[in-house]
Structure 1
Amino acid sequence: MNELISTLAIWALPVVLAITLHEAAHGYVARYFGDPTAELAGRITLNPLQHIDPLGTVVVPVVILAVTTLFGGGGLLFGWAKPVPVNFGRLRKPKADMLWVAAAGPFVNLLMAIGWGLLFKFAVSLPQSSYTVPMMKMADAGMQINLVLMALNLLPLPPLDGGRIAVSLLPNKLAWRYARVEPYGFPILLVLLFTGVLWTILWPIVALSRMFLAGALGI
């Protein structure tokens, strides 16, 4: 039980920041390109309480961490926040600007992964103590969850960010057809998750991203 509490304490801040700042970034960029919907809804904020989904941000990650800690094994730490409302029709150039709004979330996850990597490097440089070890573990968790969320959201499956990016880049006729997949996107994602296919797809991407990050930061 103590191990579980320790694991939850280490992962709590990285998970909440990774998920909520991802959503806030969408709202901020949408406002920049002309859509104030997220701002009017109070969603352009660093306050995690405005973004937390009780099931996706709390229950699901906690259950996955508990199962992994108590029974061993690895897997995909999965979660989500309340989607930031974006009215793509209010963007100045809806189809083109959709790309930047969608890309904002994964880009922020990349920036956070770099930030956690720098913290990890700093912690390693300090004498090992009861403070530096948890700091290293939290920084490592921060890199992991942000790289996973970045890779996950860049999958070209609507309504994930990668799907919206694909819709933005495709010719109009193909984009319209591809966008029609969106109502089925989340069920497809859940099937991929629970069959293990999703982790098979994501793990090489995450591992390669971690390798490049470690090389770039010298850690």
Structure 2
Amino acid sequence: MPFLYYGFDLLPYVIVALIIAFTLHEFAHAYVAYKFGDPTAKNQGRLTLNPISHLDPFGTILIFLAGFGWARPVPVNRFFFQKPRLAGVLVSVAGPLSNLVIAFIGFLFLNIMASGVAEMMPVEMARIIDKFLNILVSLNIILFLFNLLPFPPLDGYRIIEDLAPRHIRAKLTQYENYGILIFFIIVLTPLDQYLIDPVLYHGREATVLFFHLILQPFFS
């Protein structure tokens, strides 16, 4: 998995980038759910930017051992939604979208640095900032794409589940446990090199190109 591609010398940057990514991802889920009338996450202390409230110790450690992991899922009670399917989709989309926004902001700052700001800084400081921003952008794009994969328990699956007609949704629920098993088999075996890594690699390249096109008018 992509998280394993970073060497130990970059580990501090990866840790900070993941803390930011996981925290804002889960906060986004909680915030959108709260805005649609579900106070569950807020009542459990999850409507916060405090990383301690969102990080799962085992899921975080597993990232560095197996190449993938997770934060603590935000609890959502669809009973509070007036339009459960619409709210469910927007709550699910909010997490990956937050990672895309973080990646874009990081990419914007990389362009600002490259426009001449880095030359006004001490060399070592500019080097550290550049490394961190590159990792922040890369990891958040990966998390954006990874979470949109159509496997339970990822956000992509939840989006499909909410968009699907009622009879298909019932079938999805019936076979969800098998889907989770298949997902873990893929990510924990060499199958991920053929089924997931190409999607993340090409998706990351396409996303970076998209960012370039957006910022091109502002940076020569």
Distance 1:17 1:29, change over 3 A: same
Where do 1:131-210 residues align within 5 Å?
131-193=125-187, 194-195=189-190, 196=192, 197-210=195-208
1:37 maps onto 2:56 in alignment = no
Residue 21 of structure 2: aligned partner: 18
| Structure 1 runs, 4 residues or longer, greater than 4 Å off | none
How many aligned positions are there?
Answer: 204
Deviations 1:57-80 (A, max 9, x none): 2x123336xxxxxxxxxxxx5331
Q: Distance in 2 between matches of 1:203 and 1:39?
A: 36
Q: Distance in 2 between matches of 1:104 and 1:181?
A: 25
Match of 2:64 among 54, 62, 65: 62
Residue 103 of structure 1: aligned partner: 93
Q: Distance in 1 between matches of 2:152 and 2:109?
A: 34
Q: Distance in 2 between matches of 1:179 and 1:161?
A: 15
Runs of 5+ in structure 2 lacking a partner?
A: 1-5
Residue 69 of structure 1: aligned partner: none
Q: Distance in 2 between matches of 1:187 and 1:20?
A: 26
Q: Distance in 2 between matches of 1:141 and 1:181?
A: 36
Amino acid at match of 1:7: L
Aligned-residue offset at 1:5: 5.1
Superposition TM-score, scaled by structure 1 size: 0.85
Residue 84 of structure 1: aligned partner: 74
Aligned-residue offset at 1:157: 2.0
Amino acid at match of 1:94: P
Residue 3 of structure 2: aligned partner: none
In terms of mean alpha carbon deviation, does 157-166 or 105-114 score higher? 157-166
In terms of mean alpha carbon deviation, does 28-37 or 181-190 score higher? 181-190
Deviations 1:87-140 (A, max 9, x none): 123222212211111010011111101111112122223217101111111111
Runs of 5+ in structure 1 lacking a partner?
A: 65-76
Aligned-residue offset at 1:4: 5.1
Q: Distance in 2 between matches of 1:61 and 1:16?
A: 12
Match of 2:10 among 7, 18, 38: 7
8 A Cα contact 1:30 1:36, kept in partner: yes
Amino acid at match of 2:205: A
Cα RMSD between the aligned structures? Answer: 2.0
Distance 1:171 1:190, change over 3 A: same
